[in-house]
Amino acid sequence: MDATATIYRYYEHRLARSLPRDGLPHHIGVILDGHRRFARTEGHADYRQSYRIGMAKLEEFLGWSAELGIGALTAWVLSTENLRRPREELDPYFSVLMELFERLPKLARSVGFSLSVSGSLDLLPAELARAAKEAAEDTEPVPGRMHVNIALCYGGRQEIVDACRALVADLLATGCAPDRLVETIDAEGISDHLYAAELPDTDLVIRTSGESRLSGFLLWQSAYAECVFVDPYWPAFRRIDLLRALRDYARRERRFGA
């Protein structure tokens, strides 16, 4: 290991030790952005290699987060808008995602986390939707350990629409009169019908690739989330980038609108 690498590792170690354990976020949302730009920057012939590097990075990220004691993590791997991309871009990504879901149960057992998948899975190729559901079903809950939610074919507006529909359906099923629906629907009811309702609201959202917007990610849950936008493309994201994001989060005063 050369001198630069040694100094870098020492800095990373000091940064990790300096993080206040009681000041870390309970729920991190991460937007995995920049695969295609990374591929072009690195001169890859197609996007498949970039996608594979990105999914391997996600597996690393899950390990880093578990080591730090993060309680919940939502990773946005595919949006509903992404489905508009050409088939020559989507098909390789779909196959790489299937490879990821084949590996996740083993990783969950090794690292120690629970797994769920949320989104409009019915819009996906049947084999990918099936692989995602089977991965979640094959992952045993781990009380007291991190819960990982994979946002797959996810859109924040659609989640809120679906939550409202499910809430109305439940209210009608329990005998609520149609003319009382308006006064019965409330924020708590909508929260209880979100895709991953068991998770707390998001405390921190990290987006890679230098983009400074949420693009509809966890719109309801991120109402008071702190946001950190970092320059590296997702496949080039490093542990030190996560540590710096956590340091920035810990330094902020959260007021929740007060």
- How many Å apart are CA 6 and CA 59, to the nearest integer? 24
Sheet with 113-118: strands ordered across: 113-118, 146-154, 72-79, 27-31, 204-207, 226-229
Residue 33 annotated in active site: yes
Q: Which 8-state DSSP code applies to residue 28?
A: E
The catalytic position among 22, 82, 170, 241 is 82
**Cα 117 to the center of its chain, rounded Å:** 10
How many whole angstroms separate alpha carbon 243 and alpha carbon 189? 35
Single out the residue of 220, 215, 234 nearest to residue 192, CA to CA. Answer: 220
Tokens read off for 124: 């996906």
Q: How far apart are CA 178 and CA 186, in angstroms?
A: 15
Strand pairing of 27-31 and 113-118? unpaired
Name the catalytic one among 22, 33, 91, 162. Answer: 33
* H/E segment holding residue 177: none
Q: Which two tokens stand for residue 146?
A: 């991190």
Q: What residues act catalytically?
A: 33, 82
